[in-house]
Amino acid sequence: MRLARALRGGALAAGLVLVAPAAASATDGVALAHAYRERHAARILREYADLLRLPNVAANLADVRRVAETLRDRLAAHGAAAELLELDGAPPVVFGRLDAPGATRTLALYVHYDGQPADPAQWRTPPFEPVLLTAAREAGGVARPLPADGEPVDPEWRLYARSASDDKAPLGALFPALAALAEAGIAPTSNLVFFFEGEEEAGSPHLGESLDRYRDRIADVDTWLFLDGPVHASGRPQIAFGVRGVTGLELTVYGPARPLHSGHYGNWAPVPGRLLAELLASMYDPDGRVAVAGFYDDVAPLGAAERAALANLPADDEQLRHELGLAETEGGGAPLAERLLLPALTIQGLASANVGTLAQNVIPATASANLGIRLVQGNDPAKMQDLVEAHIRSRGFHIVRDEPDLATRRAHAKLVRVARATGYPAARTAMDLPIATRIAAAARAAGAASGLGEPVLLPGMGGSLPLYLFSERLGQPCLIVPVANHDNNQHAPNENLRLANLWYAIDLYGALLTMP
Amino acid sequence: MRLARALRGGALAAGLVLVAPAAASATDGVALAHAYRERHAARILREYADLLRLPNVAANLADVRRVAETLRDRLAAHGAAAELLELDGAPPVVFGRLDAPGATRTLALYVHYDGQPADPAQWRTPPFEPVLLTAAREAGGVARPLPADGEPVDPEWRLYARSASDDKAPLGALFPALAALAEAGIAPTSNLVFFFEGEEEAGSPHLGESLDRYRDRIADVDTWLFLDGPVHASGRPQIAFGVRGVTGLELTVYGPARPLHSGHYGNWAPVPGRLLAELLASMYDPDGRVAVAGFYDDVAPLGAAERAALANLPADDEQLRHELGLAETEGGGAPLAERLLLPALTIQGLASANVGTLAQNVIPATASANLGIRLVQGNDPAKMQDLVEAHIRSRGFHIVRDEPDLATRRAHAKLVRVARATGYPAARTAMDLPIATRIAAAARAAGAASGLGEPVLLPGMGGSLPLYLFSERLGQPCLIVPVANHDNNQHAPNENLRLANLWYAIDLYGALLTMP
């Protein structure tokens, strides 16, 4: 707010002197942000909780627009020239620009303000009514009120709500970081571009079009920072230089045209769950390696810097297995970071009639599976879908795109409807770029200040972001700078953010906004 | 009513002579019942409609008790010694006994007077307000008033109401059949036991206890006739000599202790849907034959009569496949009736996270399958569950009974929780018993008189009824003697009874009550 006034000229006219960018160091920025968030912890939490109360499922345009307008107004309140970049039928991009006096670099900050769908029936508390717990629920955390001003705040507390981590957490930290600088009368060392997308969880279907249409707004960006995702599973900060791409397929296998009594027809009518199980089982070797022909063929090799980074990664897989209750992991126990540099084919969902108390004595009419595909450098999304479809055909299945009619069902004993998800390829940024070392230094300073420790530098993240649109199409390198705790239940019920990670984020943004 | 008076001695005292049982033949009984129902068609329908107006969902004890009391009173009015057999918390059994002079055989007639739940919102007309249509609604039938006395009655008319078929239809025919004999002064050729259960649709949870507690009432029963279910899909009468038993298992396979982001962990964390698919696929050969060791070992062989009956069954599988949109059926296209004489293992439900619009990019924590097991003569329910569990163990799985703790999860790479369903064994009555041939002859006579045609004799039905309680535990053979049309919407909205099937039922009971 103060920075806003200053940059609009009012403060300057009143005689206040802005410290020149070159005089600020990363450490200063960390210290400023750190002190600010210690003083204002309760208010920061309240304002963040307000943001979490806004439903943000991308499929509901009215909801996401309300979030967008709120963010535009908050950006403007912090002095940015803020606007909504519109495209027909898409949630708007919240765009802001905050030029710094004398800055020679433009840093773009990407956040997505939409969230994954949330089925309230699967949540312990309603997804858009944030609840503060004294620890993770699994660790015995109990609900407590948001703290009053001045009340001590335990960094182990967790705020539960949809998008608490993914991906409103950076928003909850960015505004306090800007306010910290403004309060101290310090300008950022870079021109800042704010780019908040509203349909990332829906696969960013309009992002490319948006970047094309509003290319003038971002033409001078030097580097993109993607503020999204969790830090390292060890709890240490993390910076990632690449992401996997993503796509998927939904399969529906057909049995009888209507559900049949399993007594009157069991042993005679084909059971779609059996056909689906056989098909899915055929896609994997016993150790989880994908048995679809050609699935690993296009994987691009790693460079020397990436191989070195891999070798330096913390060996925490054993701890992670312990925490997740896993006796074994796929790929013969190969390290997680190495496995993330390969494409994945994951059974993300299964459904056929009912299980549990709702189970009935039926031969269901259909059985469905949702398959997620993660892609690495070298993989083309459509080609990977083609490979899976070729495998499906090799198992004797006839593929249709729409609900089949009776004649089609009568013609094919193995019939599957395949719906291809949209998607996008992977992206990777070289780890030896100069900006990379400055960003790593900022993370190091924030990690030390917040107690999260030394950052982990990761050649490639497992998650997906449409970075190829920036790195490949605009030629602007991208780094992923996550802040959320790794055990945040991202994309699942009971998503949460550990406060220590929110504090780290504020310290980190203080450092990044003031890095040399 | 008249028989009632006669048997109470009033009519005898007035000088009427009852024809001795041996003088009646099956044909006589059919002719008597047939003539009676032609003369009194309108009244029979009215009295049946009155019975359909009584709500009978087993969960509502007050409702079913009112039906029970009505039936007890009707039995008494037809001369039976009628009573309600009570068990705490259960709908009463309506019990009646009508001994015939000189009879050397006791025939028990089982009917269930409770009905499936009926959601009025899903019905075209209220489920407990019977409506007469001029044909099936799908065939263009329109509503018409119940006929007046003497008005012609079309056998294609249908009466719509909950339980019109399942299972009040036998009640709507039994009382007229008793009245027909009484009007002619003919006594049944068997002592009759009436056993009307009130919670069959709830799974008969108290039936065994009822039979134990009131064993003295039924000690002399020679044969049970189960008056329930639909006739053959061809429209021909049907008699079934057995039912499959039923049990099941619910499997829950474990992945990570909490759902994980499929990007951040995909290729590393074990996917429960994959483990479940592999396990389920291993349970079957490609043609659907169960690959669980020993699954078919205990199947009791068929006798010559059963094999002959199978060979004589109508070949309507092709029509059924056409109707159900099936290119192939399991077991290499073997006939349905033959496949029903084998135990079945059916994947009745599958669930893991979500599919479709609710699908998420997760590695789910669990994947579940509901497996139904149908049993045939020779199968022990617990042993069949044991065999499936042995198979599960042979695939490297560790079985637990409760939700596993983290330590258990860490100890077993393949971990499954198995919940065993309750259940009961199959029952089969030899088709060459002397009583079986007499019952078949009665059905043949009634099929001819009513125009339904030659009866289909089925060695075993696919569905399950707890007949083992009678055949195994009491040593009293059971036959299933259904009367309803096969397209009666049993268990569904808009249940109905075709009048031709009610007329067949009256003719049939006339024949059965007078068979030699």
Does the pLDDT value for residue A18 go beyond 90?
no
Which A positions 214-273 lie with beta carbon below 8 A of chain B? 229-230, 243-244, 246, 250, 254, 256-258, 260-271, 273
Residue A8's pLDDT is: 30
How far from B315 is each of B321, B335, B448, B484, CA to CA, in Å?
12, 8, 21, 21
Out of A355-364, A375-384, B141-150, B451-460, pick the least confident. A355-364
**The pLDDT of residue B419:** 98
Neighbour count for residue A88 (Cβ, 10 Å): 6
Question: Could you give the ipTM of this predicted complex?
Answer: 0.84
pLDDT recorded at residue A233: 81
Model confidence over B230-253: pLDDT tens digits?
999 889 999 999 999 999 999 999
Q: Is A411 an 8 Å CB contact of chain B?
A: yes
pLDDT reported for residue A5 = 29
A281 and B CB contact within 8 Å: yes
**Mean pLDDT along residues A277-285:** 97
Give the dihedral of Cα atoms A441, A443, A449, A455; nearest 10 deg.
-100
Q: Do A263 and B411 touch (CB under 8 A)?
A: no
Residues 485-504 of A with CB under 8 A from B: 486-487, 489-493
pLDDT, tens digit, for every residue of A229-244? 899 888 999 999 998 9
Contacting residues of A for B356, CB less than 8 Å apart: 250, 351, 368, 370
Q: Which chain B residues contact residue A286 at CB under 8 A?
A: 278
Q: Over 60: is that where the pLDDT of A4 sits? A: no
Residue A157 has pLDDT above 60, yes or no: yes
Q: List CB contacts (< 8 A) between B260 and chain A.
A: 324, 492
pLDDT at A335 over 80: yes
Task: Average the pLDDT over A50-55 and give the result.
Answer: 97
Rounded to an integer, the average pLDDT of B162-168 is 95
Nearest CA in chain A to B490: A261
Query: What pLDDT is attached to residue B307?
Result: 93
Query: Would you state the structure tokens that stand for residue B416, as one six-digit string?
Result: 């499954």
C-beta atoms of A491 and B346 within 8 A:
no
Tell which B residues from 317 to 356 touch A, by Cβ distance under 8 Å: 321-331, 334, 336, 339-340, 342-344, 346-356
To the nearest whole angstrom, how far is the Cα of B353 from the nearest Cα of chain A?
5
Of B254, B267, B288, Cβ closest to residue A331: B267
Domains and CATH numbers, chain A: 2-243+426-513 (3.40.630.10), 245-303+337-420 (3.30.70.360)
CA–CA distance, B495 with B451 (Å, rounded to integer)? 23
Q: Residues B342-358: what's their mean pLDDT?
A: 96
- A507/B491: higher pLDDT: A507
Give the separation between CA B326 and CA A406, rounded to whole angstroms.
8
Q: Over range A191-195, report the average pLDDT.
A: 98
Is pLDDT of B93 > 50? yes
Kindly identify which residue of chain B lies nearest to residue A115, measuring between CA atoms. B360
Could you report the per-residue pLDDT of A399-424, keeping only the tens digit for each? Answer: 999 999 999 999 999 999 999 998 89
Which candidate from B262, B355, B374 shows the least CB-CB separation from A346?
B262
From chain B, the residues in CB contact with A276 under 8 A are: 277, 350
- The nearest CA of chain A is from the CA of B395 a distance in Å of 11
**pLDDT tier, B16 (very low <50, low <70, confident <90, very high otherwise):** very low
| pLDDT higher than 50, residue A15 | no
Q: A368: Cβ–Cβ under 8 A, 6 or more apart, which residues?
A: A250, A251, A252, A253, A276, A349, A350, A351, A352, B355, B356
Report which of A403, A491, A512, A369 is spatially closest to residue A449, judged by C-alpha positions: A512
In order, the DSSP letters of A118-135 are: --GGG-SS-TTS-EEESS
A356–B369 C-beta distance less than 8 A: no
What pLDDT sits at residue A249? 98
- Residues B178-227: tens digit of each pLDDT: 999 999 999 999 999 999 999 998 888 999 999 999 999 999 999 999 99
Residues of B in contact with A264 (CB under 8 A): 340, 461-463
So what's the pLDDT on residue A27? 52
| pLDDT reading at A62 higher than 90 | yes
Report the C-alpha gap between B256 and B254 in whole angstroms. 7
Confidence of residue B107 (pLDDT cuts 50, 70, 90): very high
Is the bond preceding B167 in cis, omega lying within 30 degrees of 0? yes
Count of Cβ atoms closer than 10 Å to residue A156 Cβ: 14
CA distances from A88 to A37, A55, A91, A210, A423 (A): 39, 21, 8, 10, 20
Helix (H, G, I), strand (E, B) or coil at B371: strand
Mean pLDDT confidence for B302-308: 92
Say yes or no to pLDDT of B507 above 60. yes
pLDDT for res A316 = 84
Query: Over 90: is that where the pLDDT of A3 sits?
Result: no
pLDDT number for residue A19:
46
SS3 call for B38? helix
pLDDT (0 to 100) of residue A28: 87
Residue B81 CA: distances (Å) to CA of B70, B71, B73: 14, 12, 10
Both tokens assigned to A478: 């991208």
A97-132 pLDDT, tens digit per residue, is 999 999 999 999 999 999 999 999 999 999 999 999
Looking at beta carbons, which residues of chain B come within 8 Å of A491? Answer: 259, 261-262, 360-362
User: According to the model, what pLDDT value does residue B285 have?
Assistant: 95
Contacts of B267 in chain A (CB under 8 A): 288, 330-331, 339-340, 342-344, 374, 462
pLDDT of residue B25: 52
CA A363, CA B325: separation in Å to the nearest integer? Answer: 14
Determine which of B279, B350, B405 to mutate to test the interface with A (most A C-beta atoms within 10 Å).
B350
Q: What is the mean pLDDT of chain B?
A: 92
Assess whether pLDDT exceeds 60 at residue A36. Answer: yes
Q: How far apart are CA B55 and CA A477, in angstroms?
A: 72
pLDDT of residue B112: 96
Tens digits of per-residue pLDDT, A211-223? 999 999 999 999 9
Lookup: tokens for B335: 């006939």
Residue A282, SS3 per DSSP = coil
The nearest CA of chain A is from the CA of B334 a distance in Å of 8
Q: What is the arithmetic mean of pLDDT over B267-290?
A: 96
Beta-carbon separation of B462 and A322 below 8 A: no
pLDDT, one tens digit per residue, over A288-311 is 999 999 999 999 988 888 888 899
Would you call B430 an interface residue with chain A, using a CB distance cutoff of 8 Å? no
Its pTM stands at 0.79
Among the residues of A185-240, which ranges form H helices? 207-213, 215-218
- With 80 as the cut, is the pLDDT of residue B15 above it? no
pLDDT beyond 80 at B22: no
Q: What residue of B is the nearest CA neighbor of A362?
A: B348
Give me chain A's average pLDDT, please. 91
Which of A344, A406, A462 minimises the CB distance to B325? A406
**B359:A250 CB<8 A:** yes
- From A256, A266, A284, residue closest to B324, measured CB to CB: A256
